[in-house]
Structure 1
Amino acid sequence: MTFAPLALAGLSHHTADIPALERFRFPDEEVFLQRAREHFKGVLLLQTCNRVEVLVQGDGRMLAEFLHEQGKSGFFVLEGAAVPRHLLGLAAGVDSLIVGEDQILGQLKRALALSQSTGTCCNLIELCVTKAVHVGVRVRRLTDINRGAVSIGSAAVGLAEQLLGTLKDRHILVVGTGEMGMLVAQALAAKDLTAIYVTNRTPERAEILAGKIGGKAVKFDDLYRYIALSDVVISCTAAPHPVIHAPEIGKVMEERLWPLDVSPRHLILIDIAQPRDIEEEIRSIEGVHLFTIDDLRQVSDATLSSRKAEVDRAHAIIAEEFDQFVMQMKRSAADETLGLLYTWAEAIRTRERDRALHRLGTADPRMASVVDDLTRSMTKKLLSDMTVAIRASAECGDLTTAEALVRAITQGEPLCFRTDE
């Protein structure tokens, strides 16, 4: 099952913990894409809370060498048919930390858009991501795989509810107003809370999100004041560094100690940002309970057990779509190979057409049109059988023969077929 070389490498929640993911992350995605494009025909970078993956049109060995040059290690590498199979499972939600979550579809689309805008995409990668998203949508339409906690955000709310027994009459602070902040806020809005506070470095965004869920927007400068007032803090900013620091939390916990209390009121901090929003040292502060994406696995396991049948149905759809996906990739490879043939033929056609018109010595537009139509028709007919042979070779998985045929035609290279005795 051979088609244009395709490889994928990276880390995910299956193979790495949060610190490893943070070390593997590429902070400047555009710079990375441009650098990778110097080595591969196409490249796409997918970075989410629980995975960093690089997809290239190229071979796995070269991709591994390139990532090693970038100082990365410990990653997995997929090649050949394993790549489209992985992409289908990824888009379907069966490979996610929170099985069935919908956010991966938007994340794949944004990764493709960035690759396209930076000029680092290629036809094959565009086909792969577009097809994977299509299958992901189909899986969600035909199954209930996204029933229940279907995002990191909603899982964080579920974890908070599990830890406290109930969220009724509690005070919750959401730090961050991006996509994840929106998901957290929406999940919280369904609970019977006393107050939902929303903060962000951009006050207008906090106002907008708070307005949508009936919460209260607070200034980011008052972050620790509202942490002191809250039972649970869920942080999910896009900051490249921690925004909640241990010394300040130590002071917050002093404020939460009433005169007759022997210990401060408990504070639950849930960090679902990537990179991390909350300093790890905070774990050592009395009364503080810090949870990260790794701790959401228990929520994922609970929702997975209730959706086991839906996961099985999703895998059946993936298997059904896989062969069609591979055939599309082979056709894409055939079209790419044929493009070289037709570019070569068109250059010859236009050159000979212009020579003929020059020899005729006429400026008659009708004559020029007839000659152009004649040369175009002859070229098409001459290439017809070759096109069928090249496309058939590629669609049968023999891209090597297809490429050899084109080189033989366009460059005069001899066709050498090995025969095993």
Structure 2
Amino acid sequence: MDEDTIPLAVAGVSHHTADVAAIEAFRFADEPEFLAAAKQRFDGALLLQTCNRVEVIVEGDVADLRQFLAEQGRKDFFVHEGRGALRHLFALASGIDSMIVGEDQIIGQLKKALADGQEAGTASSFLEHCVNKAVHVGVEVRKRTLINRGAVSIGSAAVQLAEAEIGSLAGKHILVVGSGEMGLLVAQALAEKHLTAMYVANRTYGRAVILARKIGGKAVHLNELYHYITLSDVVISCTSAPHAIIHTADLKKAMKDRCWPVEGHPRPLVIVDIAQPRDVEEGAGEIDGVRLFTIDSLRTINEQTMSTRKAEAGRAHDFVEAELEIFLRHLRRRNADGVLGALHTWAETIRVRERDRAMTRLGAADPKVAEVVDDLTRVLSRKILTEATFAVRASAEEGDLEAAEALVRAITRGERIANGDNGKK
């Protein structure tokens, strides 16, 4: 199996190739609808959507994937195919490709993409095999290297960004909007900052209560959002809402309530929007006193603490390359199974026929004799096929499936590969 015969293609956008607006525009709001459409075109399809990437993974041809995405109104996306697509999946799961190098959340996100595909009926056995292997590689990289040292995440990077803007968070009031996985990561990063108060707002109040209890914060109803924005020094928003939840006009009113009595200017408010799609309307950053940051702003955060991780990424890359070669050999062996199946079926047909002829000639009805003859023919068949089986597997592992198929054809047609005739009469 060479690069061109691996039926895997990946296309999409990420923080490497697009800003937050472009990633937002590329997203598929209705994931089940997208997967249903992909199911009609590919043997398998998965959709990975995170705060800084949207990627489509298919079992199929890369040209078909390009055409399909163009029909979906998408453009300016990267593509990987064959070996390159596998390498990309392994690097992705390992954290090498992440904005925050080594972050752990990508493993859960890949698992979710696979689970969603399974639920939609678009996760082929081949894609399951590839993604599960990628997840395994990602876990092993984190065991063998220090790439995830310090448990840095997008959530904790958002907290670092807030600290960089206003200094120590001790004694501050922080509002976290969203109580999902990212909200939990943000809250955990804030837990030891000696805040005066941490508020947790969520569309489902019960979930806000659960998160607030975990970290000693206060749950608030979403309809009280702007009241608590008025009270807060920092707002970190990370919901999964399909539209903005912090609107420019409402925020402008809230900022008027933050005005200093004498100066007439509002107290500064830092808003870090790490949601995708974005939670905060773009115009909010132009309001007096508001400093608005997005996922794009995190690119320059944490460079010093990331130096160790980036050094470890080299070791991780070497491990990924080694695992890639192992997995490719495994896929090639799987390709050989069909060829070997034909060979062994052919041999079994001949064995049974010749066994029955022998028993007829012997004219023996003794079960013991029949058992001995049957065992003898099985052993002979297995021994005769041993070298051929080894040769077929060896050819397949080297990526030369055509040679493996030619060898089987030569054997099953009674032809000989000798004197340089390559099995041709």
TM bucket normalised to smaller: 0.7 to 0.9
Query: Letter of the aligned partner of 1:319 in structure 2?
Result: E
- For residue 42 of structure 2, the aligned residue among 40, 43, 47 is 40
8 A Cα contact 1:87 1:129, kept in partner? yes
Matched residues in 2 for 1:143 and 1:190: separation?
27
Q: Name the structure 1 match of 2:6.
A: 4
Structure 1 gaps, min length 5: 353-365, 411-416
Q: Name the structure 2 match of 1:359.
A: none
- For residue 396 of structure 2, the aligned residue among 376, 383, 394 is 394
Matched residues in 1 for 2:258 and 2:33: separation?
45
Matched residues in 1 for 2:178 and 2:410: separation?
59
Matched residues in 2 for 1:38 and 1:340: separation?
30
Q: Does 1:240 align with 2:246?
A: no
Q: Name the structure 2 match of 1:329.
A: 331
Q: Name the structure 2 match of 1:150.
A: 152
Percent identity, aligned pairs only? Answer: 57
**Which digits, 9 at most, give the CA deviation of each residue in 1:195-220, with x for residues without a partner?**
00001111110000000000000111
Instruction: Give how far 1:330 is off.
Output: 2.1
- For residue 16 of structure 1, the aligned residue among 11, 18, 25 is 18
Matched residues in 2 for 1:400 and 1:34: separation?
35
User: Cα distance 1:68–1:235, how it changes in 2: closer, same or farther (>3 A)?
Assistant: same
8 A Cα contact 1:17 1:294, kept in partner? yes
**Equivalent runs, 1:310-325 vs 2, <5 Å:** 310-325=312-327
8 A Cα contact 1:393 1:401, kept in partner? yes
Q: Helix, strand or coil: the match of 1:162? A: helix
Query: Letter of the aligned partner of 2:105 in structure 1?
Result: Q
Q: Name the structure 1 match of 2:124.
A: 122
- For residue 113 of structure 2, the aligned residue among 111, 114, 117 is 111
- For residue 133 of structure 1, the aligned residue among 132, 135, 150 is 135
Q: Name the structure 1 match of 2:262.
A: 260
Matched residues in 2 for 1:278 and 1:406: separation?
63
Instruction: Give how far 1:261 is off.
Output: 2.5
User: Cα distance 1:333–1:68, how it changes in 2: closer, same or farther (>3 A)?
Assistant: farther
Matched residues in 2 for 1:58 and 1:13: separation?
25
Matched residues in 1 for 2:408 and 2:334: separation?
16
Q: Helix, strand or coil: the match of 2:301? A: helix
User: Cα distance 1:339–1:20, how it changes in 2: closer, same or farther (>3 A)?
Assistant: farther
**Which digits, 9 at most, give the CA deviation of each residue in 1:160-182, with x for residues without a partner?**
11111110100000000111001
**Equivalent runs, 1:362-377 vs 2, <5 Å:** none
Matched residues in 2 for 1:288 and 1:403: separation?
68
8 A Cα contact 2:114 2:131, kept in partner? yes
Instruction: Give how far 1:147 is off.
Output: 2.0
Instruction: Give how far 1:264 is off.
Output: 0.5
User: Cα distance 1:102–1:211, how it changes in 2: closer, same or farther (>3 A)?
Assistant: same
User: Cα distance 1:181–1:338, how it changes in 2: closer, same or farther (>3 A)?
Assistant: farther
Q: Helix, strand or coil: the match of 1:94? A: coil
Structure 2 gaps, min length 5: 354-366, 413-420
TM-score under structure 1 length normalisation: 0.84
**Which digits, 9 at most, give the CA deviation of each residue in 1:30-78, with x for residues without a partner?**
2222221222222221111111111112221111111111111101111
User: Cα distance 1:339–1:23, how it changes in 2: closer, same or farther (>3 A)?
Assistant: farther
User: Cα distance 1:41–1:300, how it changes in 2: closer, same or farther (>3 A)?
Assistant: farther
8 A Cα contact 2:45 2:57, kept in partner? yes
8 A Cα contact 1:170 1:230, kept in partner? yes
**Equivalent runs, 1:46-61 vs 2, <5 Å:** 46-61=48-63
Q: Name the structure 1 match of 2:218.
A: 216
Instruction: Give how far 1:122 is off.
Output: 2.0
Matched residues in 2 for 1:228 and 1:64: separation?
47
Instruction: Give how far 1:135 is off.
Output: 1.4
Q: Name the structure 2 match of 1:225.
A: 227
- For residue 96 of structure 1, the aligned residue among 79, 95, 98 is 98
Q: Name the structure 2 match of 1:30.
A: 32
**Equivalent runs, 1:339-378 vs 2, <5 Å:** 341=342
8 A Cα contact 2:6 2:83, kept in partner? no
Matched residues in 2 for 1:167 and 1:157: separation?
9
**Equivalent runs, 1:163-174 vs 2, <5 Å:** 163-174=165-176
Matched residues in 1 for 2:325 and 2:85: separation?
13
Instruction: Give how far 1:184 is off.
Output: 0.5
Matched residues in 2 for 1:25 and 1:408: separation?
52
8 A Cα contact 1:330 1:395, kept in partner? yes
Q: Does 1:65 align with 2:56?
A: no
Instruction: Give how far 1:316 is off.
Output: 2.5
Q: Name the structure 2 match of 1:356.
A: none
Matched residues in 1 for 2:279 and 2:184: separation?
17
Matched residues in 1 for 2:138 and 2:145: separation?
11
8 A Cα contact 1:245 1:282, kept in partner? yes
Query: Letter of the aligned partner of 1:216 in structure 2?
Result: K
Structure (1 or 2) with the larger CA radius of gyration: 2
Q: Name the structure 1 match of 2:275.
A: 273
**Which digits, 9 at most, give the CA deviation of each residue in 1:306-351, with x for residues without a partner?**
433222222222233221122123233334x459859998xx99xx
User: Cα distance 1:255–1:390, how it changes in 2: closer, same or farther (>3 A)?
Assistant: same
8 A Cα contact 1:99 1:303, kept in partner? no
Matched residues in 2 for 1:408 and 1:122: separation?
33
Matched residues in 1 for 2:402 and 2:50: separation?
36
| More divergent stretch after superposition (186-195 vs 20-29) | 20-29
Query: Letter of the aligned partner of 2:131 in structure 1?
Result: V
Instruction: Give how far 1:255 is off.
Output: 0.2
Q: Name the structure 1 match of 2:359.
A: none
Q: Does 1:207 align with 2:212?
A: no
Superposition CA RMSD, Å: 3.5
**Which digits, 9 at most, give the CA deviation of each residue in 1:120-151, with x for residues without a partner?**
12232222111111111111112221123621
8 A Cα contact 1:169 1:192, kept in partner? yes
